[in-house]
């Protein structure tokens, strides 16, 4: 696992040990950023269910100003810290150990509004529809912001969730990527 492009291109990223976390492959990561970027002129990102921090680190490497990383697993939290330090991105990062729903409530209270939100929950416990509804109702996404959902190809998501519309859906083997704006 590595950073695919940008200022940190080629840097290796440590994976989360064990089988609890499924890393996003470099191929899928490249496809995601080709759909939404591929590069950015600043902005704020949220990497919810961050795992190793791979998606958020890739976004920082490609030009986001700051990313907030959230994962409830202690091993993942420690790996995110390690990867951010090794990529020299500590000044541009906030890391929290929390579950997704509580994290979203805290971010709403802070009044934060994101340009990009990455959602890659465990496939067997997905609540993507609920999470997207919470993001939309809590006004966590900027007017022209983007939500990237990585999910099992068997998971059916609505094309419209509140004011958000799915503008793209791509399949990579057993993985689907849905992009909402």
What are the residue boundaries of the structural domains of the chain, listed by start?
A: 26-180
Dihedral angle of Cα 148, 105, 98, 51, to the nearest 10 degrees = 0
Give residue-wise pLDDT tens across range 114-156: 999 999 887 665 688 899 999 999 999 999 999 999 988 888 8
* Ordered mean pLDDT values, 10 residues apiece, the chain (181 residues): 94 85 79 93 96 96 98 95 97 96 96 96 77 95 95 88 93 91 95
CB atoms within 10 A of CB 10: 10
User: Which residues have C-beta within 8 Å of that of residue 3, sequence separation ≥ 6?
Assistant: 9, 10, 11, 13, 57, 58, 61, 87
For residue 166 the two structure tokens come to 């799915």
CATH topology (fold) of 26-180: Rossmann fold (3.40.50)
Query: How many helices (H) does the chain have, and how many strands (E)?
Result: 5, 8
| DSSP sequence for 82-99 | HHHHHTT-GGGEEEEE--
């Amino acid at each position: 696992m590595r950073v695919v492009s940008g200022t940190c291109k080629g840097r290796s990223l440590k994976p989360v040990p064990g089988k609890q976390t499924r890393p996003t492959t470099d191929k899928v990561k490249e496809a995601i950023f080709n759909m939404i970027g591929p590069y950015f002129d600043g902005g704020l990102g949220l990497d919810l269910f961050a795992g190793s921090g791979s998606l958020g680190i890739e976004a920082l490497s490609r030009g986001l100003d700051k990313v907030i990383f959230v994962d409830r697993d202690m091993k993942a939290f420690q790996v995110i810290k390690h990867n951010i330090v090794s990529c020299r991105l500590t000044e541009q990062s906030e890391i929290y150990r929390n579950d997704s729903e509580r994290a979203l409530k805290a971010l709403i209270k802070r009044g934060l509004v994101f340009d990009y939100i990455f959602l890659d929950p465990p496939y067997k416990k997905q609540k993507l529809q609920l999470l997207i509804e919470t993001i939309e109702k809590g006004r966590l996404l900027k007017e022209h912001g983007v939500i990237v959902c990585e999910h099992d190809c068997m998971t059916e998501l609505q094309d419209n969730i509140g004011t958000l519309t799915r503008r793209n859906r791509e399949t990579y083997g057993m993985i689907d990527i849905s992009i909402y704006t």
